[in-house]
Structure 1
Amino acid sequence: MSEIEIVPASVARFDDVEHALTGGGDGGSCWCQWWMLRARDFEATSNDEKRELLRRDLEAEPASALVAYIDGAPGGWVKVSSRPEQPRLARTRNLQQSPEPFDDPSVWAITCFVVRNEHRRQGVSERLLDAAIDHARAHGARVIEGYPVDTEVARTSSNALFHGAMSTFAAAGFTEVARPTPSRPIVSLTLT
């Protein structure tokens, strides 16, 4: 059994963040900017620019993401912050079915998971989700939303699970509040 420690991502840990994001999936090309930039701006921004935008994001308090260390090595990442800090959420048609107002800073969103290939199928996503819930709670979240993939409806690759799996969110106590598409529910956890 691996030892997993999860801490807030920060500029001081940027080398570790970079290592966690570049070992599987699209982390090294997105740099967790998908929900931060409009579609046309995302496409027009180079990978190096996205990387620097992430560095700037990580200067803010509270941390907008967490990094997992597996046996001391950075191996996982989760994006968790208030929805207003992730502006593309409010402009995404499939998410308009959310019952929560998009400008409410007490509503947080968990939008991205990355687990390096060598650490998959070890429960890292579950641990990251639990830590994200604790982090949001500690910083005043009233509600946390997620936008996972329901793998019982649509088969998907491990790399395509960067939104998380419905089963993982359900096991953590999230309930479905809307289903904009057959395989993409909106799930919610009320903290207060």
Structure 2
Amino acid sequence: MTEAAVASCRFVPATEAPWADLETLFGARGACGGCWCMTWRRPRAAFEADKGEGNRAALQSLWAEQAPLGVLAYQGDQAVGWCAVAPREAYDYFRRSRVLKPAPGEAGVWSITCLFIAKPWRRQGLSGRLVAAAADWACSQGARVVEGYPVQPHQAQAAPVFLWTGTPSAFESAGFTAQPGREGMRPVYRR
């Protein structure tokens, strides 16, 4: 893909897109190993028990309910990327995480928890554009703060499966900044 092709992508909230587009983008494996972007949304036991079809049904149910899910990137009529974003309370993960436990009383925080880019579109700068579009959409829905939890790859060509929460460079290109005091932990980037 070219830089111009990435620049011409448009972004659509997932609940305004046809369910079939998300299904096609995620493919038979549900993006990665049957997750269907439910890893952080569902309790661990339910997620593991429902890998594959159960997680697909859970995501489709949220889509049908018009729950905040995220944003799809389109090139023409084809969905080529996904960025999950929703109010932090929508994710079970934060209720049980010691590392990313929310500050007491902090309201209006939305979380970007997953990116999935179609193979031909990876490593082209689409992640940063998706993160920016997801943050813009979250703010239009009432988010006061949008945060993400990227990982720094240990090698230049890290496998995409290890980069599903994004990389610092994608968040930085979207105007996010690393939060101080997170050294030695999973970083938190906010906008």
Deviation at residue 44 of structure 1 after TM alignment: 1.2
Does residue 75 in structure 1 map to residue 77 in structure 2?
A: no
Amino acid at match of 1:179: R
Residue of structure 2 aligned with 1:57, choices 56, 62, 69: 62
Deviation, structure 1 residue 91: 1.1
> Which TM-score applies when normalising by structure 1?
0.85
Q: Is the 8 A contact 1:76 1:116 kept in 2?
A: yes
Q: Which runs of 5+ in 1 are unaligned?
A: none
* Root-mean-square deviation over aligned CA pairs: 2.3
Give 3-state SS (helix, strand or coil) of 2:64's partner.
Answer: coil
- Measured in 2, the distance between the counterparts of 1:85 and 1:50 equals 15
Q: Tell me: CA distance 1:30–1:150, structure 2 relative to 1, closer, same or farther (3 Å).
A: same
Alpha-carbon shift at residue 162 of structure 1 (Å)? 0.8
Partner in structure 1 of residue 11 of structure 2: 6
Counterparts of 2:57 and 2:134, CA distance in 1? 23
* Partner residue in 2 for 1:110: 112
**Corresponding residue for 2:149?**
147
1:19-30, aligned counterparts within 5 Å? 19-22=24-27, 26-27=31-32, 29-30=34-35
Candidates 86, 92, 95, aligned match of 1:90: 95
Q: Offset of 1:133 from its aligned partner?
A: 1.0
Q: 1:29 to 1:180 in 2, by over 3 A?
A: farther
Q: Secondary structure at the match of 1:167?
A: helix
- Percent same amino acid at aligned positions? 34
The AA in structure 1 aligned to 2:135 is I
Which structure 2 residue ranges, 5 or more long, are not aligned? none
- Contact persistence 1:25–1:160 (CA under 8 A): no
How far is 1:157 from its partner?
A: 1.9
**Residue number in structure 2 paired with 1:160:** 162
Distance 2:134 2:96 in 1: 23
CA shift, 1:27, in A, is: 3.8
TM-superposed deviation, 1:110: 0.3
Q: What count of residue pairs does the alignment treat as equivalent?
A: 183
- Compute the TM-score of the two structures, normalised by the length of structure 2: 0.85
Are the counterparts in 2 of residues 145 and 188 from structure 1 also a CA contact under 8 Å?
yes
Q: 2:135 aligns with which of 133, 142, 158?
A: 133
Q: What secondary structure sits across from 2:146 in the alignment?
A: strand
Q: Distance in 1 between matches of 2:86 and 2:58?
A: 16
Instruction: Please identify, of 47-56 and 60-69, the stretch whose mean Cα deviation from structure 2 is larger.
Output: 60-69
